[in-house]
Structure 1
Amino acid sequence: MRIAVAAAMSMAMAAPAGAITYHVDPAHARVRAKVGFFGLGSKTALFPKVEGRVALSDRDAQGLTLDVSIDAQALEAGDPLTRSRLRGADFFDVDRYRHVIFHGSSMTRTGPHSAQVAGTISARGVTRPATLAVDFSRDFAAMTGREPVHIAASTRIDRRDFGVTAYPLIVGRQVTIAIDADLMPGRE
């Protein structure tokens, strides 16, 4: 609960002066988490309820504040049994930990419209460092904060780092997270 409250407060804070701000369009944002299953295939969970904001510094190429909140209670999966297990105490434990939070605090540009965003992921009451590889649909030089921007981002985590250790012989340790979202012009 503290993480969700801290994230909500962080998202409500005003962007620094001179920042180019965007908010995540909840109608056009999806997060997918994919994990190996029996070493032969994979299982994917979809998180359709995502909200957040991004503030890019117009003065500092590395300046960034990114806060994204994912509603784990809205988790969807390929079948009811998998959905129930993923929402349960062995995995996301959504009754105790409703949100998964990503907070990005710095950005290293890797191309005209790509970057590495360093920050943290908080899930199940645990916070760990994480880096997102992000592709923006626009060149950084063309971003003014007045036009929509599409992002595709990904990272990989070890589920054990967040206390998710159930079914170690069936479910893989590495989870690939993919974010697909439209960012809309700033909203304070």
Structure 2
Amino acid sequence: MKKIALSIVLGMFALLASAQTWVSDPAHSHLTFAVSHMTISEVTGNFTQFEVKVTATKPDHSDAKVEVTVQVASINTDVEARNNHLKTADFFDVATYPTMNFKSTSIKKVQGNHYKMAGNLTMHGVTKPIVLDVYYKGTVTNPMNKKETSGFLLKGKLNRMDYGVGPKFPAAFVGTDITISGSVEFTESK
């Protein structure tokens, strides 16, 4: 029995020792969104300050644990007045809820480089499950810093009303479905 327990403990240490942590490279990553406006056009924007941390033991990151922290005040729609309005209590209320957070709960291979990543998104003080499509673009050695670098694309949708964002604005004015997408490069953290 002692040998079995020792084997389990050693196996856990080996697994932990082989786990790699990867962090997002802000200069080569973006997180964007799109929402309909008055049902006839689309407003797009991005968050300029966010951080993604991935811990994985497999080379293709198929066992990844992902944590994302977005600074909501970094919202940018290329219109300063709109950015400022989105930061108010009418929408994101950044004074009360300065960050948006995502923590993965599972990742499952669909086919080839396509995965489904489930997790919990906390926005505006509300936590709800969400599923994202993730596409692994590969891993290369960055010639500039000689570190392993991995790339991913992500896509998904959420309903802003589920999170209490902009409840005074009906779907005919500001769409309820928000399309999110991102392209993130990760560098192995040593």
Pick the TM interval, shorter chain.
Answer: 0.7 to 0.9
- Whole-angstrom distance in 1 between the partners of 2:16 and 2:112: 23
Q: Which residue of 2 aligns with 1:161?
A: 162
2:119 aligned residue: 119
Distance 1:106 1:62, change over 3 A: farther
Distance 1:163 1:39 in 2: 20
CA deviation vs aligned residue, 1:29-69 (integer Å, no higher than 9, x gap): 2111111110011111210111121112339x853210011
Question: Which residue number corresponds to residue 179 of structure 1?
Answer: 182
Aligned residue in 2 for 1:3 = none
Counterpart position of 1:57: 57
The one-character-per-residue Cα deviations of 1:58-109 (angstroms, maximum 9, x if unpaired) are: 39x8532100111111111121221111111111111111111111121101
**Aligned position for 1:170:** 173
Q: TM-score, normalised by structure 1?
A: 0.81
- The yes-or-no answer on 1:136 pairing with 2:136 is yes
Aligned counterparts of 1:185 and 1:95: Cα–Cα separation in 2: 33
* Code of the aligned partner of 2:27: A
Q: 1 CA distance for matches of 2:64 and 2:163?
A: 25
Alpha-carbon separation, structure 1, partners of 2:44 and 2:91: 13
Q: Which amino acid is 1:163 matched to?
A: G
Q: d(CA) in 1 for partners of 2:188 and 2:64?
A: 15
Distance in structure 2 (CA, Å) of the matches to 1:41 and 1:16? 49
Structure 2: any 5+ residue segments left out of the alignment? 1-14, 142-146
In the TM superposition, 1:1-188 aligns within 5 A as 16-58=16-58, 63-138=63-138, 147-164=148-165, 165-168=167-170, 169-187=172-190
Q: How many residues align?
A: 169
Q: Which has the larger radius of gyration?
A: 2
Tell me, which stretches of 5 or more residues in structure 1 are unaligned?
1-14
TM-score norm. by structure 2 comes to: 0.81
Give 1:100's aligned amino acid: M
Instruction: Quote the Cα distance in structure 2 between the aligned partners of 1:69 and 1:122.
Output: 10
Q: Secondary structure at the match of 2:27?
A: strand
CA distance in 2, matches of 1:58, 1:150: 15
Return the alpha-carbon distance in structure 2 between the equivalents of residues 121 and 50 of structure 1. 14
The answer to whether the 8 Å contact 1:22/1:184 transfers is yes
In structure 2, how many angstroms separate the alpha carbons of the residues matched to 1:21 and 1:109?
A: 20
For residues 147-185 of structure 1, give each alpha carbon's deviation from its aligned partner in whole angstroms, at most 9, with x where no partner exists. 201111011000000002131130011001111111111
Q: Percent identity?
A: 24
In structure 2, relative to structure 1, the CA distance for the partners of 1:87 and 1:53 (3 Å cut) is: same
- RMSD in angstroms over aligned alpha carbons? 2.3
